[in-house]
Chain A
Amino acid sequence: MKPFYLKLTLSVAMIAALAGKAVGNPAPQPQLTLDPASQETFNADWEGVAGRTYFMHFSTDLTDWHFAPFIEYGDGAHNWGVHSDADRFFIRLCCTDFPGINNLDDAMSADFDGDGLSNIFEVTYGYDPFEIASTIDGPDAALDPDADGLDHAAEQALGTDPMAKDNPLLQLEVIID
């Protein structure tokens, strides 16, 4: 019984701590609007808040959510176009007042989950920038989906494509006399 109590108390304390963080009166976030546009596309628009970093989530079943491959930052109007051939398609805005972010470049190059991969690398290749291990396959940085011997951390450092077998060490130059 005691461990359960301890666990519960710790959980409550953590929630209280998190709530305390959130209570710092963050500026209200105007809602995202999704309007039909021409050729069966949709316009997703929202007003940004200064100092805030934005991600977009999308889903086809309201259960599994994926990151859209872009990041936005700061105040002003943010206007994106969306097209999907899914029967059902949902989007939602995800934002954070992560400290130390002063512009879009900061937001893209930052590493919110501290796994060694930048936020923009993670959303571009379909990972969660707030989770060290977005998939059941292990930490995002250690994955090598193109099986070229370079994990994501190495691909990011070398600037190679993590979805193509482009390991420069594997490319042999053949010279024929």
Chain B
Amino acid sequence: MRLHILLMSAACLSFLLQQSLAQEVRSAPATTFAKLPASVVSVDKSYKEPRPPAVKPDFQIESTQVKLVDVVESPPMFGLPSVEGTIRLKVHSVADPGLPEPERAFSARFPQPDFSDNPEFLERLAQLEKEQEQNLFVSVSATVFDRNRTRLTCRPLGDGNSHSPAIAWSNIDFNDFRGFGSFKAVGVGGEKRSYQLMMFVGNEDTEQRRAWAAAHRIKWDKPEIPILTKGAPAFIIVSQDPDPASVKLIEDLHALYRDQGKEMAEIAVAREKAYQEKKAYLLANPPKPKDVTVHFWKRENATAVRAK
């Protein structure tokens, strides 16, 4: 009987421990450093000459057809009307302008020796793979509640393994994560991770949602948001048995915000300002679809070059 009570107590303790671990407020490890690509952070404001347009080949037109085509193009920005109008589509058959044919690939011209049986080569290859940064394509879905707390669903994709997503609540406004698609992180052992982000950021205004639900007589409960203090980036993982790779990703996202959050917030404000300015300009100056010209020619010397 005593043993039975002891076992029950142990089971209860284990359950409570698991629960407390799952609800633990965490932050990015201090030994992990993360950074954005330099092109995102440092905006070069110096004037640069625009790239000159490529010189069009000197076409000799043999025949032409002209069509009037009604087009409806997608809006240049979200919230703007479609770009509609009638364009002139000119299609020219032209004589072969005799442009240089691309050379065959180097590997095709000079077949490479096969090192796949060479142990030295294989050892060096394994070492290089170890030293090389880990490239990770990751999915990050973020719903920001009241521009204050974010519910995250994160997981790596495309590394050949199946990862269950980790679900977490964060005290970061993930709207600041818009506008870039990659970042790098260096872990405690010097291991490098290079992330390519597939990020979805949405916003939820709980008061607005509550009012909408009431107006439509729909039951809606505000999600239970764990208590997270403002301040240093922190998160609570709420999914059971989260995949370690998915947790590492959440840690690295928080390390990035800890290390570059100030710049990210500034960039987000600047981007929003530029977005609104561009939208206002496009509303005042609605774009019109432009005429299109197409040239087709038979490449007479392609076969000869290929045969070389």
Q: A40 to chain B: which residues have CB within 8 Å?
A: 54, 56
Asked if A41 lies at the interface with its beta carbon under 8 angstroms from chain B, I say yes
The answer on a CB contact under 8 Å between B67 and A61 is: no
- Compute how far the CA of A43 lies from the CA of B302 in the bound complex, rounded to whole angstroms: 10
- Give chain A nearest CB distance to B71 CB in angstroms: 7
Taking the closest CB of chain A, its distance from the CB of B57, in whole angstroms, is 5
In the bound assembly, the distance between CA atoms of A125 and B67 in angstroms comes to 9
A: number of interface residues (CB 8 Å): 33
Docked pose: A89 CA to B89 CA in angstroms = 12
Taking a contact as CB atoms under 8 Å apart, the answer to whether A83 and B96 are in contact is: no
B93: chain A residues within 8 A (beta carbon): 69-70, 124
Number of interface residues of B (CB under 8 A): 33
- Stretch touching chain B among A3-11, A31-39, A167-175: A31-39
**Is B178 an interface position by the 8 A CB rule?**
no
Q: B100 in the interface, Cβ–Cβ < 8 Å?
A: yes
| B288 nearest CB across to chain A (Å) | 13
Q: Which residues of A contact B306 (CB under 8 A)?
A: 77
With A64-B69, A124-B65, A126-B67 as contacts: A80 and B297 at CB distance below 8 Å? yes
**Which residues of chain B have C-beta atoms less than 8 A from A85's C-beta?**
292-293
Of residues 45 through 76 on chain B, the ones whose CB sits less than 8 Å from some CB of chain A are: 54-57, 59, 63, 65-67, 69, 71, 73
A61 touches B65 (CB 8 A): no
Chain A residues with CB under 8 Å of B59's CB are: 83
Q: Which of A38, A80, A124 contacts B298 (CB 8 A)?
A: A80
Q: Please indicate the chain B residues that have their CB under 8 angstroms from the CB of A126 in the complex.
A: 65, 67, 91
User: A61-B71, A77-B302, A126-B67 known; A43 and B297 CB under 8 Å?
Assistant: no
Q: Within residues 55 to 73 of chain A, which ones have a CB less than 8 A from any CB in chain B?
A: 56, 58, 60-61, 64, 66, 68-70
- Chain A, Cβ-Cβ closest to B99: A38
Interface membership of B296, Cβ < 8 A: yes
Q: Are A79 and B293 neighbours in the complex by a CB distance under 8 Å?
A: no
In the complex, how many angstroms separate the beta carbon of B93 from the nearest chain A beta carbon?
Answer: 5
Judging by beta carbons under 8 Å apart, are A41 and B57 in contact?
A: yes
In the assembled complex, the Cα of A85 lies from the Cα of B289 at a distance in Å of: 12
Q: Provide the residues of chain B in CB contact with A77, threshold 8 Å.
A: 302-303, 306
A163: interface (CB < 8 Å)? yes
- The reply to whether A125 and B57 form a contact with Cβ atoms under 8 Å apart is no
What A residues does B89 contact at CB under 8 A? 66
* Cβ of B83 to closest chain A Cβ, rounded Å: 11
Q: 8 closest Cβ contacts across the A-B interface? A: A79-B302, A79-B299, A40-B54, A83-B295, A86-B292, A126-B65, A84-B294, A81-B297
Binding site for B on A (CB under 8 A): 35, 37-41, 43, 45, 56, 58, 60-61, 64, 66, 68-70, 76-77, 79-87, 89, 124-126, 163
Instruction: Given contacts A81-B298, A84-B294, A89-B294, list 7 more A-B pairs with CB under 8 A.
Output: A39-B56, A61-B71, A68-B91, A81-B96, A83-B295, A87-B290, A124-B65
